[in-house]
Amino acid sequence: MPLLVTGTIGIDTVHTPTAKAEEVSGGSCAYFAAAAAFHHNPVRIVGAVGGDWPNDHAALLESIEGLCLEGLERRSDSKTFAWGGRYFDNMNQRETLFTELGVLEEAPPEVPESYADSRLIFLANSHPSVQMDLLNKFPDRQLAVADTMDLWINIAREELLALFKKIDGLIINDSEAEQLTEISNPITAARAIIDMGPSFVIVKKGEHGAVLVHQDGIAVIPAFPLDQDGVVDPTGAGDSFAGGFMGYIAASGKLDFETMQEGMAWGTVTASFTLGSFGLDGLVSTTQAELKARMSEFRTIARIC
Amino acid sequence: MPLLVTGTIGIDTVHTPTAKAEEVSGGSCAYFAAAAAFHHNPVRIVGAVGGDWPNDHAALLESIEGLCLEGLERRSDSKTFAWGGRYFDNMNQRETLFTELGVLEEAPPEVPESYADSRLIFLANSHPSVQMDLLNKFPDRQLAVADTMDLWINIAREELLALFKKIDGLIINDSEAEQLTEISNPITAARAIIDMGPSFVIVKKGEHGAVLVHQDGIAVIPAFPLDQDGVVDPTGAGDSFAGGFMGYIAASGKLDFETMQEGMAWGTVTASFTLGSFGLDGLVSTTQAELKARMSEFRTIARIC
């Protein structure tokens, strides 16, 4: 089941209460793909970068086994998407300092013909019309899952609701689920979103874990518990969770509820490595053995008698 | 392992966004004891009520199998502790509308001689000096666990720190853990509290579950997922969690980390019934079979692959 992801490849500047990192390799597509590649091969990227994309960022993505970068367009006269943000003291909230859209203001990247047999599609956060256009290129897909953000809920609600009728699953933050439905209870909010189209919704709650509401059941999972020292930079943790989740499903070849519940656990553990470093470093420096060891630890820590 | 709890027996008035309930049977001691009695017999109460204590509240407590009310003092010329509160729209935050201390302003209740062989002691929220006095009556105890609140952290910090040196465990809200340690990460905050004395700390996170930090390991658990309709009144859920936790430990007769992790799961499931009704009604109307069925459901919902 080849897995395709489209979203941003970005250059991030991240301020935390104790540190600052500039020109960090980031973007929703990059985090998702690096996380998914732990579980599945190939993970196909559709995205674009500008002439300013740093060589070491390229080398980092190229170093990840299982990533297919054929759909990564390099536009020498354009600028790469750039984002700057600052985390507050508790690391759970942040403010955006700047956003330079760059290539995102241009035509969406082409999809290579070799990607035509992709069966799992992840639409990272983007304008819902752009997400819909990409989705329409894959009529034979088996699973389409999307992310979105507050901006599109505000300014492109109609297009978002049209997208909901075409996707199988939505992965969304708790605050966005509430914004979308005006329901603060995440389970009830997820059910309301299912009534809008998707057959399942995952509500991400950051340090509090996630909940899957599916036509066939409910699953809840805590976050992997990290000490203060273990939370260096939360940027990309949600995309890494989605990557681990979808990568696991792609590798298993099954789309049932139990597989998705297992995917949530792998997504949780995969994302915990993103939190430990700035940018993609946490994922890229982690081995399969370390991932499996942490999953084993997580099974003990989150065991129900 | 006889289990003893001391705390308030109260008359509550609760406003929620959709309903109001007056003269509800409540108090930390009552919630704890009703929850613990699902798991263990006897659960011994040390508390006091006034002449205004409603007959139906008395009948409710007397109806619970396994509760020992010998240590419940009825003071006909005094007033029962009364509390009124209002929950905001998301049911996660509340404001106190009034507090009438009543019997809490008088001498603490006597401990019956028949309670002398109590081995597990739970000190529900109260002034830390009162908690300490009670604790000193049980030099042969095997496990002493306390709760506290923001008020005592503010005005009786020294007495609280003295108490920490005598107890084995502390069960505390996330906001109180942060207030106590000035550390927002609950794991790191719990470790800092362990450095103050207790050998384990449970940080309660309301709808987000709880975390146990113990000298022998860490355990995390999500809350039992409830739809909006299932959350009628959160009052007493934290005390019910503690009651389910301690009741399970008392019944098992073991004090190791694994037993405490199992106790967290039983505490979580027991507390979920408190949320479904005003006052003690949710616990009192639940059968052992319903409790076990929900635990079985929780095992599936919170399963890690």
Task: Give the CA count within 13 Å in the CB-facing half-sphere of B102.
Answer: 27
Strand partners of residue B82: B11, B100
Contact A304 B305 (CB under 8 A): no
Contact A305 B187 (CB under 8 A): no
Cis peptide before B42 (omega within 30 of 0): yes
Residues from B in contact with A at Cβ < 8 Å:
89-92, 183-185, 187-188, 191, 205, 208-209, 211, 217-223, 225-229, 231, 261-262, 265-266, 298-305
Show residues of chain A in contact with B217, CB under 8 Å.
300-301
Contact B220 A217 (CB under 8 A): no
CA distance to partner chain A, nearest, from residue B27 (Å): 26
Dihedral angle sign, alpha carbons of residues B3, B153, B238, B14 = positive
Question: Residues B248, B267: contact at Cβ < 8 Å?
Answer: yes
CA distance to partner chain B, nearest, from residue A303 (Å): 7
Query: Which among A191, A227, A265 has the least Cβ separation from residue B185?
Result: A227
For chain A, give the percent of residues with pLDDT over 70: 100
Give the pLDDT score at B256. Answer: 97
Q: Tell me the Ramachandran region of residue A279: left when phi exceeds 0, alpha when psi lies from -120 to 50, beta otherwise.
A: left
CA distance to partner chain A, nearest, from residue B218 (Å): 6
Give the pLDDT score at A20. Answer: 95
Strands B10-15 and B81-87: parallel
| CB-based contacts of A195, cutoff 8 Å, min separation 6 | none
Please return the burial class of A32, using the count of CB atoms within 10 Å of its CB with bins 0-12, 13-18 and 19+: buried
Give the pLDDT score at B90. Answer: 82
Residue A255 has pLDDT above 90, yes or no: yes
| CB-based contacts of A12, cutoff 8 Å, min separation 6 | A21, A23, A24, A25, A26, A27, A82, A83, A84, A85, A235, A279
Q: Give the residue on B whose Cα is nearest the Cα of A190.
A: B227
Give the pLDDT score at B92. Answer: 83
Show residues of chain A in contact with B184, CB under 8 Å.
89-92, 228
- What would the pLDDT profile of A33-42 be if each residue is shown by its tens digit? 999 999 999 9
CA distance to partner chain B, nearest, from residue A88 (Å): 11
Average pLDDT over every residue of A108-128: 96
- With tokens 């550390």, the residue in question is B183
Task: Give the CA count within 13 Å in the CB-facing half-sphere of A280.
Answer: 28
- What would the pLDDT profile of A210-252 be if each residue is shown by its tens digit? 999 999 999 999 999 999 999 999 999 999 999 999 999 999 9
Contact A261 B303 (CB under 8 A): yes
Give the pLDDT score at B89. Answer: 85
For chain B, give the percent of residues with pLDDT over 90: 97
CA A74 to CA A72: how far, in whole Å?
Answer: 7
H or E segment to which residue A211 belongs: strand A210-214
Six token digits for residue B183: 């550390």
CA distance to partner chain A, nearest, from residue B65 (Å): 25
Contact A222 B221 (CB under 8 A): yes
Give the pLDDT score at B299. Answer: 98
Contact A301 B191 (CB under 8 A): no
Going by pLDDT thresholds of 50, 70 and 90, the confidence category of residue A305 is confident
Please return the burial class of A30, using the count of CB atoms within 10 Å of its CB with bins 0-12, 13-18 and 19+: buried
Residue A92 has pLDDT above 90, yes or no: no
The vertex-A10 CA angle with A8 and A13, nearest 5°, equals 140
Give the pLDDT score at A226. Answer: 97
- With tokens 């890494």, the residue in question is A240
Counting one residue from A and one from B, how many pairs have CB atoms under 8 Å apart?
107
Question: Residues A238, A173: contact at Cβ < 8 Å?
Answer: yes
Strands A120-123 and A3-6: parallel
Six token digits for residue A279: 């940018």
Query: Which among B205, B223, B304 has the least Cβ separation from residue A302?
Result: B304
Residue A90 has pLDDT above 90, yes or no: no
Q: Tell me the Ramachandran region of residue A217: left when phi exceeds 0, alpha when psi lies from -120 to 50, beta otherwise.
A: left
Q: Report helix, strand or coil for B92.
A: coil
Show residues of chain A in contact with B234, CB under 8 Å.
none
Question: Residues A274, A237: contact at Cβ < 8 Å?
Answer: yes
Average pLDDT over every residue of A118-131: 96
Neighbours of A101 (CB within 10 A): 12
Q: Give the residue on A whose Cα is nearest the Cα of B211.
A: A225
Give the pLDDT score at B116. Answer: 96
Question: Residues A177, A202: contact at Cβ < 8 Å?
Answer: no
The vertex-A127 CA angle with A124 and A133, nearest 5°, equals 85
CA B178 to CA A111: how far, in whole Å?
Answer: 49
DSSP letter at B223 equals P
Q: Give the residue on B whose Cα is nearest the Cα of A300.
A: B219
Going by pLDDT thresholds of 50, 70 and 90, the confidence category of residue A197 is very high
* SS3 readout for A90-110: CCCCEEEEEEECHHHHCCCCC
Residues from A in contact with B at Cβ < 8 Å:
89-92, 183-185, 187-188, 191, 205, 208-209, 211, 217-223, 225-229, 231, 261-262, 265-266, 298-305
Mean pLDDT, chain A, as a whole number?
97
**Alpha helix positions (H), B12-104:** 28-36, 55-62
Give the pLDDT score at A24. Answer: 96
Question: Residues B233, B279: contact at Cβ < 8 Å?
Answer: yes
- What would the pLDDT profile of A148-174 be if each residue is shown by its tens digit? 999 999 999 999 999 999 999 999 999
CA distance to partner chain A, nearest, from residue B102 (Å): 36
pLDDT block averages, 10 residues each, chain B of length 305: 96 95 96 98 97 97 97 98 93 92 95 97 95 97 96 96 98 97 97 98 97 97 97 97 98 97 98 97 97 98 94
Question: Residues A109, A73: contact at Cβ < 8 Å?
Answer: yes
CA B81 to CA B101: how far, in whole Å?
Answer: 5
CA A78 to CA A145: how far, in whole Å?
Answer: 29
DSSP letter at A221 equals E
Contact A205 B208 (CB under 8 A): yes
Q: Report helix, strand or coil for B156.
A: coil
Picking from B89, B218, B220, B296 by the largest number of A CB atoms within 10 A of its own CB, the best residue to mutate is B220
**At B188, which amino acid appears?**
T
Strand (E) positions, chain B? Answer: 3-6, 10-15, 20-26, 43-50, 67-75, 81-87, 94-100, 120-123, 143-147, 169-173, 200-204, 210-214, 217-221
Contact A300 B227 (CB under 8 A): no
